[in-house]
Amino acid sequence: MISVGEAKNILAKVCKPLTPASIPLQKAMGLVLAQNVFAAVDVPAFNQSSMDGYAFLFEDWRGTETLMIEGVVQAGSHLESPVQAKQAVRIFTGAAVPKNLDTVVMQEKVLVQGNQLIIKDDLLKQGGNVRLKGSEIEVGDLALEKGTKLSPAAIGFLAGIGIKEVLVYPKPRVKLIITGNELAQPGEPLGYGQVYESNSFAVSAALQQMGIDAVISFAKDNMEELKVVLEDGLKDSDILLITGGVSVGDYDFVANTLADCGVEKLFHRIKQRPGKPLFAGRKGNQMVFGLPGNPSSVLTCFYEYVVPSLSQLMNTTTSIIQYKSLPLAHSFAKANKLTNFLKAHCTDEKVTILNAQESYRLSSFATANCLVCLGEDEINYNEGDMVEVHLIN
Amino acid sequence: MISVGEAKNILAKVCKPLTPASIPLQKAMGLVLAQNVFAAVDVPAFNQSSMDGYAFLFEDWRGTETLMIEGVVQAGSHLESPVQAKQAVRIFTGAAVPKNLDTVVMQEKVLVQGNQLIIKDDLLKQGGNVRLKGSEIEVGDLALEKGTKLSPAAIGFLAGIGIKEVLVYPKPRVKLIITGNELAQPGEPLGYGQVYESNSFAVSAALQQMGIDAVISFAKDNMEELKVVLEDGLKDSDILLITGGVSVGDYDFVANTLADCGVEKLFHRIKQRPGKPLFAGRKGNQMVFGLPGNPSSVLTCFYEYVVPSLSQLMNTTTSIIQYKSLPLAHSFAKANKLTNFLKAHCTDEKVTILNAQESYRLSSFATANCLVCLGEDEINYNEGDMVEVHLIN
């Protein structure tokens, strides 16, 4: 058995970012750029009015009281013929300022008499209300750096500079195999000795939080069947998650069958509760996790080990989990010399460990907003002691 | 023009939670329960072994040194015939403890000689390693309260107690209409006077953060065409978002055309920058937002007004946005007496307002992690002044 820290270090060393892939910008939300992105065009691509008003040449205005209004430029169109001296053009927000004009006056600051334009804007300067060509970015300029995580604004920014596809670290392809002879699906009648299967529900939901859809299969506690399902799970996946069958009982076939499938063990069994029997392995660049079958163990191991590994595959340092320190709201005595991950509820000020910590129970997890991590050695904690909090919701 | 606070108050009053709907548990991640949920079964539904080991009657062990091993119970199966006095049964984690037995000893704490079981566990108590029927929850007991936001653990918990469908406040059906004659799609060649359309990309990505897929349409700045598209947008949607055409220019048809479609105006124009021309309306229970067309205005109005409205429709108090106060890292002078929403970057300690705040630009938004909200009246801010920060990523 290894410690939690050793296990996390092994995973941190082994998990490598996935091979970058070029994907449509619409599918890149939350993913990390695998190369620098450069502007495909000048933005704006022309001198652009930022107002509804009138475009004119500033020098013309200095020499005269009134300008003659000739022509209209709506957004998306442009004037075909050049504007003559002392002429102004009706223009709208986003429209191209005709090439020999340089300034726009807001429509609220003019008098229009027939075709005559009288400008009443003492503060207006040359170039006013005009967004110069390339003022957001010039063609070929660096728009976003490799390593940028794409937010909605970043996605919009890239669209606006003409980018259609981006090279990113893709979402991992996740397969999830649920093992256990005792499992029935919610909604089915429950035979004596059966329990409702919940791990596929909880793990899928947690993966959804990361924008990942898992492919789910089921297997009985039977070596032959398990091997077929595991081999299938290892096809076209970046990460394979298995629940159950990973302890040392006579029907715990997962670790041995994974070895038969060519999966190299990284570790098996960790000095922690819940989730002591956790198995991690790899086959080439594929990561494999054998999660203990108890619902609370599965979800704890998912948050503590699988989520950081998924983040590494996606080459991101951010996570659905936030880590902080908070004072305990009460004293607490651990039952053992293992690292404990305890369902808890925290406010900004303090954290309270909940009842119902047993690994087969999810009732406390269902209302928890964090896990408290208490290290191996310390047994007794006092009210006010600072503890490690992993925010999960 | 109304203030930001007035606009937010109007929306808070008008937006009502959607009509609850019964949906499959697998699709309920992040949604809020619209009714109390009660356990459909006892969990566990039988006395259940929590270990791989041997089940026996505690009283039998007190009277004798050895027990006779007779039979095996694997998880998911059960013994057909009752166990005789002084007999023990091989049992595995999750399996049903035979009805006349009460205690399980771990397999690590026994000696087995042929069929004879010798228990070496001085600390073992009656009932040890047995999860009593109904110890997680009893049939008919309240499992989760109305108003609970369903986390992965909550989803798993409900599956485990036999729940297949839940009554929740559903995800709003969102339609998004992008208006503008000047828009080209990224990847297409850009005609003179055209700009690449980015609002559908940014808003869709932001909706994805909330687990919502929008239906997107496009319309030219033409009243007849716009009316057809708006009428379609008002069909089968809970919230209609329109970008562009909402200012007061000759080609800004959105507000008037919405009125023609029977949309009641809630407000139009807010004392803020960016996003001054924002329009909000409703038709029955449908919410309608006319977002100004500049990319930065669209996304700012989305975060400041649409996100809180979506949360209200889903009856949740949590949001993709977190609100906090932080000291400014530098002095700052506002350019006007409007509420300013400024692209910024914050750490845990302080917040820095970024360059490139113009509403047509997204470059600063692309690397921002928050908006700083500075109120109408104050113009000059000093380094260290506490300001309102809206965390967006």
Give me the CATH number covering residue A64. 2.170.190.11
CATH number at B270 reads 3.40.980.10
Least confident of A232-246, B4-18, B50-64: B50-64
Site from A33, A198, A390 to mutate, B interface, most B CB atoms within 10 angstroms: A198
Residues of chain B contacting A31 with CB distance shorter than 8 Å: none
Residue % of chain A over a pLDDT of 70:
100
* A18-37 tens-digit pLDDT: 999 999 999 999 999 999 99
Residue B376, pLDDT score: 96
Contact between A329 and A318 (Cβ < 8 Å)? no
- Does residue A137 form part of some domain? no
Let me know whether B155 and B91 are in one domain.
no
Which residue of chain B is at minimal alpha-carbon distance from A371? B153
Sign of CA dihedral A345, A350, A355, A359: positive
Let me know whether A270 and A191 are in one domain.
yes
Q: Check A208 against B250: CB less than 8 A apart.
A: no
Q: What is the largest CA-CA distance in chain B?
A: 98
Residue % of chain B over a pLDDT of 90:
92
Q: Distance (Å, rounded) from C-alpha A388 to C-alpha A376?
A: 13
Distances (CA, A) of B2 to B6, B150, B276, B277, B279: 6, 37, 10, 11, 11
Residue A202, pLDDT score: 98
- What is the pLDDT of chain B when averaged over all its residues? 95
Q: Token pair for residue B205? A: 């990505």
Q: Distance (Å, rounded) from C-alpha B160 to C-alpha B372?
A: 44
Residue B232, pLDDT score: 98
Q: Is the pLDDT of residue B379 over 80?
A: yes
Contact between B107 and B89 (Cβ < 8 Å)? no
Site from A108, A182, A391 to mutate, B interface, most B CB atoms within 10 angstroms: A182
A284/chain B closest Cα distance in angstroms: 30
Site from B52, B360, B371, B390 to mutate, A interface, most A CB atoms within 10 angstroms: B360
Q: Token pair for residue A92? A: 């709208």
Q: Check B160 against A52: CB less than 8 A apart.
A: no
Total count of domains within chain A: 4
- Does residue B80 form part of some domain? yes
Let me know whether A96 and A225 are in one domain.
no
Terminal-to-terminal C-alpha distance of chain B: 30
Find residue A342's DSSP bridge partners: A372
Q: Is the pLDDT of residue B62 over 90?
A: no
Q: Check A202 against B155: CB less than 8 A apart.
A: yes
- Does residue B193 form part of some domain? yes
- Comparing CB atoms, the residue among A162, A182, A299 nearest residue B153 is A299
- Does residue B137 form part of some domain? no
B97/chain A closest Cα distance in angstroms: 9
* Owner of token pair 């604004």: A153
Query: What is the pLDDT confidence band of residue B69, given thresholds at 50, 70 and 90?
Result: very high
Q: Check A247 against B52: CB less than 8 A apart.
A: yes
B230/chain A closest Cα distance in angstroms: 21
Q: Token pair for residue B158? A: 């409900």
Single out the residue of A369, A366, A364, A363 nearest to residue A354, CA to CA: A364
Mean pLDDT of A145-170: 97
Residues of chain A contacting B365 with CB distance shorter than 8 Å: 153-154, 156-157
- Comparing CB atoms, the residue among A92, A95, A201 nearest residue B159 is A201
Let me know whether A257 and A235 are in one domain.
yes
Amino acid at B25: L
Q: Is the pLDDT of residue A307 over 80?
A: yes
Let me know whether B360 and B300 are in one domain.
no
Residue A80, pLDDT score: 82
Residue B318, pLDDT score: 84
* DSSP SS3 for B273: strand
- Does residue A138 form part of some domain? no
Residue B27, pLDDT score: 97
- Does residue B235 form part of some domain? yes
Complex ipTM over 0.85: yes
DSSP codes of every residue in B277-307: T-EEEEETTEEEEEE-SSHHHHHHHIIIIIH
Let me know whether B31 and B165 are in one domain.
yes
CATH number at B157 reads 3.90.105.10
Angle in degrees, 0-180, between the axes of helices B152-160 and A199-209, rounded to the nearest 10: 160
* DSSP SS3 for A332: strand
* A202-251 tens-digit pLDDT: 999 999 999 999 999 999 988 999 999 999 999 999 999 999 999 877 77
Site from B194, B212, B269 to mutate, A interface, most A CB atoms within 10 angstroms: B194
Mean pLDDT of A266-280: 97
Amino acid at A37: V
Let me know whether B83 and B113 are in one domain.
yes
* B302-343 tens-digit pLDDT: 999 999 999 999 999 888 999 999 999 999 999 999 999 999
Q: Is the pLDDT of residue B266 over 90?
A: yes
A65/chain B closest Cα distance in angstroms: 25
Q: Is the pLDDT of residue B347 over 90?
A: yes
Ramachandran angles phi, psi of B247, nearest 5°: -85, -155
Query: What is the pLDDT confidence band of residue B300, given thresholds at 50, 70 and 90?
Result: very high
Which residue of chain A is at minimal alpha-carbon distance from B42? A195
- Does residue B160 form part of some domain? yes
A385/chain B closest Cα distance in angstroms: 22
* Owner of token pair 């992965």: B152
Q: Distance (Å, rounded) from C-alpha A389 to C-alpha A342?
A: 9
Q: Token pair for residue A345? A: 């509820």
Let me know whether A184 and A163 are in one domain.
no
Contact between A274 and B50 (Cβ < 8 Å)? no
Residue B393, pLDDT score: 73
Residues of chain A contacting B393 with CB distance shorter than 8 Å: 149, 151
pTM above 0.80, yes or no: yes
Amino acid at B98: P
Mean pLDDT of A174-180: 97
* B190-248 tens-digit pLDDT: 999 999 999 999 999 999 999 999 999 999 988 999 999 999 999 999 999 999 999 87
Let me know whether A302 and A258 are in one domain.
yes
Amino acid at A309: S
Q: Where are the alpha helices (DSSP H) in A184-288?
A: 199-209, 223-233, 254-260
Find residue A174's DSSP bridge partners: A239
Q: Token pair for residue A291? A: 């999660």
**Which residue range forms the structural domain that includes residue B161?**
21-43+142-169
Q: Token pair for residue A151? A: 């937010």
- Comparing CB atoms, the residue among B30, B95, B157 nearest residue A362 is B157
Contact between A314 and A361 (Cβ < 8 Å)? no
- Comparing CB atoms, the residue among B209, B360, B366 nearest residue A154 is B366
Contact between A246 and A291 (Cβ < 8 Å)? yes
Q: Check A153 against B77: CB less than 8 A apart.
A: no
> How many other CB atoms are there within 10 angstroms of residue A270's CB atom?
25
Terminal-to-terminal C-alpha distance of chain A: 30
Q: Check A148 against B366: CB less than 8 A apart.
A: yes
Let me know whether A160 and A178 are in one domain.
no
DSSP 8-state class, residue A26 = G
Residues of chain A contacting B157 with CB distance shorter than 8 Å: 198, 295, 362-363, 365-366
Let me know whether A126 and A150 are in one domain.
no
How would you class B138 by CB atoms within 10 Å of its CB: exposed for 0-12, middle for 13-18, buried for 19 or more? middle
Let me know whether A331 and A239 are in one domain.
no
- Does residue A73 form part of some domain? yes
